[in-house]
Each structure stands twice: as C-alpha cells, then as structure tokens.
C-alpha cells in the first residue's frame, strides 16, 4: 500500500488531502485545500495564497488518477465545490449529507451533490458502511463528533485495508472522544493519519482540559495498538509549538514513530499559517 499525504498544514495549507494506492485500487481522501481567512487578526499572506494554488494543483493531479474519491465532511479544507474535475467519472463515497450533520454543512453538502451527481460514476453515503473493491476493503466509522459537541457537525473516519491497514480519522479534534479511540483500536492499523488537538484554540474554542483529554486519548491509542507510523498534522500544526507536543507523545512507545505528514514523506516541515505574523514582518494588519 502506498500512502501519500498530498496537502497538509505541515506543507503550508489547511488540508488533510491524502492519496492511497492499494494492490488494486486508487483512492483520494478529502480533496480540499484552504487557508485561514483570519489568523492573529490578519488575512492570508500572499505566500499562503500561492501555496494554496500549488497544493490544489497537486490535489487535482492525484485525484485525477484515482478511482474512488472519499469526502469525510463538508468543510472547505476537505472538499471543493469549484473543481468538478475532482469528481468526474469517480466512485464517490461521502459523509451522509442530511443525517448527523449541522446546518452549514448540510447546505454545502446539497450544493456539492447537485454538482457531482450528474458527472460522478456513482455517489454513495458512507456512514457506518463497508465497501469492497476487488481485494480492497474500505470501512467507515459511524458519524464521529467534529470535536466535543455537535456544533461543528460530524465526520466519518476511514479504514482502508489490502494486505496492510491504514486509518484516516478526519477532523476529530484530537481525538476528544472515546468513540474515535474505540474505532482505531478495533481496527489496529499499521499507519494512521490523525488531525491532532487544536492547541491553538485553547482559551477560545476549547478549554485546556479538552485538549488534555485529547492527548490522553492519543496515548491510549498508542498504548493499545502496534501502529508503526503515526502521522499527526492538520489542527496541531497550526500551533508554532507543535513539536513540544509530539516530543511528549514520542516517549509513550518508541516503536511508534510520530511525525507530521511532511516528515513522513522525508520533507522539511513548512508551516505557514502559524507563522503568519512573521510572514508579515511582525506587523499587525488592521
């Protein structure tokens, strides 16, 4: 199995876009790329906007090669309603567009479905479902909270299995919930991509105790599995101090290698959003 993180915070954009190639299937998960409209009360820097354009090209290239496209929820860093080529002729497996969903994502899902239903090869809802394509099995979790309340809606986690197992959690914000821990432990993946706790929102959207719970949950997963490659990125990599948290987790089990998506590929981490003040030369934009 080939696992290729395509666009992530560690590469300079908001995304968890991932290409997976099994023995007999090519799959693209969450073909969306965005930048934060407002970080440190500053709009995106031109460096970030240029990176978003470049990353979107990579997403289009790899999604174009794929047979199956998965959409785990309807935030714009996970799907893209403006690039119909991402879905044309593909088998689409997506988060249920009307059940276990908040109002804004329900509207976005309806818009996306209107665009892709005429051009996709097939469109099927994924929540709690299992799909077999040749020798590849794709298993979806039940709807999982996007954080610790229904306010941000729900996502579906994805397990892809051929002779190896890969698990993609989507936006579970940590994870903050035991349900996510149970899904991961039940499937015992060799490789995982987790969005990581949103430590940059401590004191605004989340309490310190929420974030502490998320790290405890990650430690539970590490302890109860034999995961070899544990990729943490997305929300955690919006924090300039993300490495301190990874160092702490790395001591739990030396056999579990914890890294960002860029590091997994042997590339240098190149976060941009967390460095926005620096990109603007320390000036505060009003």
Give the chain's end-to-end CA distance (angstroms, integer): 48
Nearest distance in Å: CB 204, Zn ion: 16
CB-wise, 6 or 25, nearer to Zn ion?
6
Q: What is the smallest separation between the CB atom of 221 and Zn ion, expressed in angstroms?
A: 19
Residue 95 binding Zn ion, by CB under 5 A? no
Among the candidate windows 39-47, 52-60, 75-83, 114-122, which touches Zn ion by CB under 5 A? 75-83
Establish if 77 lies at the interface with Zn ion (CB under 5 A): yes
> Looking at 75, 90, 96, 100, which residue binds Zn ion (CB under 5 A)?
75
**Token match 């949950």: residue?**
217
Which CB atom, from 33 or from 160, has the smaller least distance to Zn ion? 33
Task: For Zn ion, give the closer residue by CB, 17 or 27.
Answer: 17
Binding flag, residue 90, Zn ion (CB under 5 A): no
Identify which of residues 15 and 22 has a Cβ nearer to Zn ion in the complex. 15
Nearer Cβ to Zn ion (22/32): 32
Binding segment for Zn ion among 41-49, 159-167, 168-176, 204-212 (CB under 5 A)? Answer: 168-176
Assess 171 for contact with Zn ion (CB under 5 A). yes
Q: Using the minimum distance from each CB to Zn ion, give the nearer residue, 136 or 206.
A: 206
Within 205-264, which residues bind Zn ion (CB under 5 A)?
none
Between CA 236 and CA 243 the distance in angstroms is 9
Beta bridge partners of 136: 133
Q: Which is nearer to Zn ion, 25 or 71 (CB)?
A: 71
Residues 6+ apart with CB under 8 A from 49: 35
> Which among 10, 12, 16 is positioned nearest to 30, based on CA atoms?
16
- Interface region with Zn ion, contact rule CB under 5 A, candidates 76-84, 172-180, 250-258, 269-277: 76-84
Which span (80-88, 137-145, 170-178, 201-209) binds Zn ion, by CB under 5 A? 170-178
* Shortest distance in whole angstroms from residue 16 CB to Zn ion: 6
> Residue 274 CB, nearest distance to Zn ion (Å)?
15
Whose tokens are 């034999």? That residue is 226
Cβ distance to Zn ion smaller for residue 173 or 256: 173
Which of 227, 214, 229 is closest to 180 using CA atoms? 214
DSSP designation for 258: E
Residues touching Zn ion: how many (CB under 5 A)? 3
Q: Does position 127 bind Zn ion by CB under 5 A?
A: no
Tell the smallest beta-carbon distance from residue 29 to Zn ion (Å). Answer: 12
- The answer to whether the bond into 175 is cis (omega within 30° of 0) is yes
Which residues lie near Zn ion (CB under 5 A)? Answer: 75, 77, 171
């Amino acid at each position: 199995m080939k696992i290729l993180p395509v666009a992530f915070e560690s590469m300079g954009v908001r995304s968890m876009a991932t290409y997976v190639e099994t023995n007999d299937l090519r799959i693209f998960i969450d073909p969306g790329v965005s930048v934060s409209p407002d970080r440190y009360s500053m709009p995106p820097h031109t460096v970030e906007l240029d990176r978003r354009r470049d990353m979107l090209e990579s997403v289009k290239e790899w999604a174009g090669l794929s047979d199956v496209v998965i959409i785990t929820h309807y935030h714009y860093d996970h799907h893209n309603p403006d690039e119909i080529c991402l879905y044309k002729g593909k088998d689409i497996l997506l988060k249920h567009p009307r059940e276990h969903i908040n109002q804004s994502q329900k509207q976005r899902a309806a818009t996306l479905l209107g665009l892709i239903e005429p051009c996709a090869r097939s469109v099927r809802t994924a929540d709690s479902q299992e799909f077999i394509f040749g020798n590849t099995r794709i298993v979806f979790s039940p709807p999982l909270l996007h954080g610790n309340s229904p306010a941000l809606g729900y996502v579906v986690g994805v397990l892809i299995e051929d002779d190896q197992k890969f698990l993609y959690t989507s936006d579970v914000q940590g994870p903050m919930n035991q349900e996510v821990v149970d899904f991961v432990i039940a499937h015992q993946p060799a490789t995982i991509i987790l969005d990581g706790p949103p430590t940059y929102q401590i004191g605004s959207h989340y309490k310190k105790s929420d974030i502490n719970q998320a790290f405890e949950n990650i430690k539970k997963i590490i302890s109860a599995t034999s995961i070899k490659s544990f990729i943490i990125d997305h929300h955690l990599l919006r924090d300039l101090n993300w490495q301190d948290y990874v160092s702490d987790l790395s001591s739990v089990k030396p056999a579990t290698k914890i890294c960002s998506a860029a590091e997994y590929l042997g590339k240098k981490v190149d976060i941009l959003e967390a460095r926005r003040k620096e990109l603007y030369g320390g000036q505060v934009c009003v």
